Amino acid sequence: MRNTMKWTTAFVASFGFAAAGCESDTPAETGTTDATDSTDGADATDGTDGADATDGTEAGDGSDGSDATDGSDATDATDGSTDAVDATDAADGTDAVDATDGTDGVDGDPPACPIGSKCNGAECCTCSGSECELGIDNSLSGIASLANSALQGTIDDGDVNIVAEFAGDTSQTFTLNMYTADLDPSDAECDVSVGPCKWQLGLEAFNADCGSLISFNNAAIDANGKLTAGGPDGLFVLSLPIQGFVLELKVVGARIEGAVTMDGENITGVSGILAGAVPKAALAEAVDKLPEEGLPLPKSAIKNLLDNVIKADIDAFDAEGGAGTDGVKESASISIVFEGVPGTIASIESAEGQDPAPMCAEAPAIESFSQVAFRMSGLALGDSGKAGQGLDVDGICAAPPEAGICE
């Protein structure tokens, strides 16, 4: 069985509004108890005057600069000495999200990344799940226990062979192609789990122009051996065996992070994670395409099971159905952990006699392929919540709102 993959190039600052008002003065006060108070309107020494609603110098007076309760008076709009512009914040000295009070030196916490993001290097970054730096962003891990044993079995048996080609100068940006393959006839007895083996590429891995269906043209390896490739616009199809049936999963937003091992200037090994998102609608369509016979459960039961186990946690499409976002999470994140052993691309399958005829009728000359190639000897769905088992494929990183926040 060949595994077919395809690549297409993917606050409320809830202001606490509290009004501090004045109670009406009781009528018990008379001129006999206050010889100087005939009208009480201008008496600043009247001990009971604090509750006199008609006292022009009392707590509700907008011009009283000595009003002890003025800091919490929500209607005081003239007290420039304490709150120059904030006329609604009743607890202005402690309001952490008050971004309008430019003169209050003790207002809020120190500057930080916006809510929902945190420092990642020198930038503020978001992710679709919590603690996604640990690989939480990996919803498809819910079926890992059902799929991984069978998937690895097909790898170990040589039924599924995925060969990665590092094409170009790997000291600069290069192209990483992936192909389905079989052992070359000249090396038919090679132990595929150990290698190195010679490989014959299958024509189903090529498009109509005889280029690779999976092609990351922005691959790079940094000075520390970190491999990166891909982006938000990619799509591939992965054949995933699950207890007696095989699901063809459409994965969008393909992205790779990994590491290479070196012997001098030669790359001798590769490992990492290939991640993306699976539209839940496409998952249901994949079940509908299964054969009617031989399934362990009715298709409706399989779809119901998958729908309950797998959560949509990625917004991968815009309103028109293209790569992008529209605020609706319709896809499930997936990570595929891989490792590879060295191999050689030795030949390409002939198109002659194939029915139906392959898209690529005349494959490129074998000499055009790089000799830096790796057969994926380990391939498994990542385990959510474990370091190194997932990637945040829909995170957004941006410069912090103030310089130095993430230093």
Does a structural domain hold residue 285? yes
Confidence class of residue 104 from pLDDT cuts 50, 70 and 90?
Answer: very low
Asked if residues 162 and 347 have their Cβ atoms less than 8 Å apart, the reply is no
Both tokens of 405, joined, read: 């926040």
Number of Cβ within 10 Å of residue 223's Cβ equals 6
Query: Cis ω on the peptide bond leading into residue 196 (within 30° of 0)?
Result: yes
pLDDT for 129 equals 60
Does a structural domain hold residue 25? no
Sign, CA dihedral 202-278-209-177, equals negative
Asked if residues 363 and 210 have their Cβ atoms less than 8 Å apart, the reply is yes
For the cut 80, the answer to whether the pLDDT of residue 59 exceeds it is: no
Does a structural domain hold residue 70? no
Confidence class of residue 245 from pLDDT cuts 50, 70 and 90?
Answer: confident
Asked if residues 228 and 220 have their Cβ atoms less than 8 Å apart, the reply is yes
Does a structural domain hold residue 39? no
- What residues contact residue 151 under an 8 Å CB cut-off, 6+ apart? 160, 240, 241, 379, 380, 381
Asked if residues 315 and 331 have their Cβ atoms less than 8 Å apart, the reply is yes
The pTM assigned to this predicted structure is 0.64
Does a structural domain hold residue 2? no
User: Using one digit for the tens of pLDDT, what is the confidence trace for 124-181?
Assistant: 877 766 566 666 678 888 888 778 887 888 888 878 888 999 999 999 999 999 998 9
Domain that holds residue 197: 123-398
- Bridge partners of 252, per DSSP, are 235, 277
Asked if residues 376 and 342 have their Cβ atoms less than 8 Å apart, the reply is no
Does a structural domain hold residue 206? yes
User: Using one digit for the tens of pLDDT, what is the confidence trace for 178-211?
Assistant: 998 999 999 999 998 888 999 999 998 898 999 9
For the cut 60, the answer to whether the pLDDT of residue 106 exceeds it is: no
Q: Which range among 129-133, 292-296, 398-402 shows the weakest confidence by mean pLDDT?
A: 129-133
Does a structural domain hold residue 43? no
Does a structural domain hold residue 147? yes
pLDDT for 130 equals 59
Q: Which range among 27-41, 91-105, 288-302, 393-407 shows the weakest confidence by mean pLDDT?
A: 27-41
- What 3-state class would DSSP assign to 40? coil
User: Using one digit for the tens of pLDDT, what is the confidence trace for 321-340?
Assistant: 877 788 888 998 888 889 99
The mean per-residue pLDDT over the stretch 44-66 comes to: 43
Domain count, the chain: 1
